[in-house]
Amino acid sequence: MNTPPKPDWISRFSRSVGTLVPDATSASAILLVILVAAALALGNGVTATADAYYRGLWMLLPFTMQMTLILVLSSVASATAVFRNSVVRLAQLPRNMTQLVALAVCLNAALSYLYWGLALALGPLIAIHFARAAERKGILVDFPFLLATVGAAASVWQFGLSSSAPLLMATPGNFLEATTGVMSLRSTIWAPSAILLCVTFPIALVVVARLLMPRSPQPLSAFPEANNLAAPAPEGAMTDPPSESTGFAGWAERSRVMTGILVVAMVGWLYHHFVTKQAGLDLNAMNTMLLLLCFLLHRNVASFSRAMQGAVQTCWPILVLYQLYGGVAGLLQYTSVGETFAGLFASVSTHLTFPLMTAIAATVVAVFVPSSGGQWVIQGFVTTRAAEAVGITAQRGLLALSVGDQMGNLVSPFWPVLAAGIARVDFRRFFGYGLVFAALWFVMGVLIFTLVP
């Protein structure tokens, strides 16, 4: 009688981590206690500390709505036959595990380089469709492991076209212009070192994932809710959505005229934003383009509305969670805790250790602040001054901080919870695997920004 193989070390590690890591809401409560204690210990008064929390608690409301729209609209776009068929066709191409992992990683890395919101919302769906194709072909792929691998591939967004801090610093009138001047993108995300990391990290990720793929894989079918997302849509579901409305109301819901009117309105908004105002890509512009894409891909309002009903299930984790993290961010921004912490690391840095120390400091702060732009606002001044003190450019400080920022994103439960909501699985099932890839990202980033110009 054959006995089932014992779980390998990577599976045991992931399960152990899953039993230790609290959910993101509990983590925000733990961080709140730690930061309040730190603020009081550093001499901030009780009233000042309470006021900092008050100022931060609701400061992310606009960002919450923007993030909600990114997730919902990306899910609405992915529900269309165009996206679904494209991913399904791509998932059929790989003939073995290595090819499957490589294509899934490269696909999500490319999406993240274009815009981080696309990779965040569509990455879990890519993992689901690729895992389904693997199971049908008899390729032994562990779905939670693949989900973590595809999620880690999105790390290249830090040096992509939507990277928050570099875009902010390339904007005239930014809050550090008097200190650093305007930083061109050629000196940040298009620097040789940043490009090198964007190219080599996905390659290294594929190699490591291939080597560490669990020997006793859990297929997609072991996760019924996730598996249902990969099930083929009913015949005619996208072309003739049911509606109880009749007469003019029914015609309006099924007609392309209504979506055509909205498409024209969205195009006009984008023209005004990019041409008339000469503004750059931001969250509002990205959401407008996503909304435009949704109207183009869905045949009518009825189809769009039906897709929205399913998509809203993906955004529930962030509706309150961002506000709880906003209170934590307020304690960092409006007390002396954030600057003291960053300054402590900067004070012990040298020319050689500066990227490492900056990345470590950024990692810890990123666990508390779920916003790359917000983190740069907190640490930007201290980081640039410390870089000047040790003879390193402010741009190199920004790039090193971005490595730590993404490391914090990977080790915090905040972002995995969002991916888990989209994939309909418990984030603890794949969180431990993500920590291994987080270590890979951190080591490669620090080494590159220390040794490569």
Please spell the DSSP secondary structure of 313-379, one letter per residue.
Answer: GGSHHHHHHHHHHHHHHHHHHHSSHHHHHHHHHHHT--TTTHHHHHHHHHHHHHHH---HHHHHHHH
Most confident of 21-25, 196-200, 212-216, 355-359: 196-200
Question: How many other CB atoms are there within 10 angstroms of residue 70's CB atom?
Answer: 22
- Better-scored residue on pLDDT, 109 or 7: 109
pLDDT at position 239 over 50: no
**Average pLDDT of the residues in 423-438:** 90
In this predicted structure, what is the pLDDT of residue 1?
41
What digits encode the pLDDT tens for the residues 71-99? 788 778 877 778 778 888 999 999 999 99
Burial class (CB in 10 A: 0-12, 13-18, 19+), 393: middle
Give the separation between CA 71 and CA 65, rounded to whole angstroms. Answer: 10
Least confident piece of the model among 148-152, 361-365, 375-379: 375-379
pLDDT at 370: 61
pLDDT band at 375 (very low <50, low <70, confident <90, very high): low
> Mean pLDDT throughout 130-151?
95
Confidence of residue 334 (pLDDT cuts 50, 70, 90): confident
Q: What pLDDT score does 449 carry?
A: 95
Average pLDDT of the residues of the chain? 84
Q: Which residue has the higher pLDDT, 240 or 130?
A: 130
- Whole-angstrom distance, CA of residue 415 vs CA of residue 148: 11
pLDDT band at 209 (very low <50, low <70, confident <90, very high): very high
What percentage of the chain has pLDDT greater than the value 70? 89
Predicted pLDDT at 372? 66
What distance in Å separates the CA atoms of residue 196 and residue 206, rounded to the nearest whole number?
Answer: 16
Name the least confident of 34-38, 290-294, 363-367.
363-367
Tell me the torsion sign for CA atoms 112, 118, 121, 126: negative
Output the pLDDT for position 67: 73
- Report pLDDT digits (tens) over 95-139: 999 999 999 999 999 999 988 877 887 899 899 999 999 999 999
What is the model's pLDDT at position 188?
92
DSSP 45: -
Is residue 227 pLDDT above 80, yes or no? yes
Q: Greater confidence, 41 or 7?
A: 41
* Tokens encoding 81: 């036959």
* pLDDT class of 223 with cuts at 50, 70, 90: very high
> What's the confidence (pLDDT) of residue 382?
75
Q: Is 334 exposed, middle or buried (0-12, 13-18, 19+ CB in 10 A)?
A: buried
Residue 445 has pLDDT above 60, yes or no: yes
Helix/strand/coil for 60: coil
Q: What is the pLDDT of residue 196?
A: 97
Segment 430-446 shows an average pLDDT of: 94
pLDDT of residue 233: 56
Quick one: residue 182, left, alpha or beta (phi over 0 = left, psi -120 to 50 = alpha)? beta
pLDDT of 16: 78
Q: Residue 304: pLDDT above 80? A: yes
Provide the whole-model pTM.
0.78
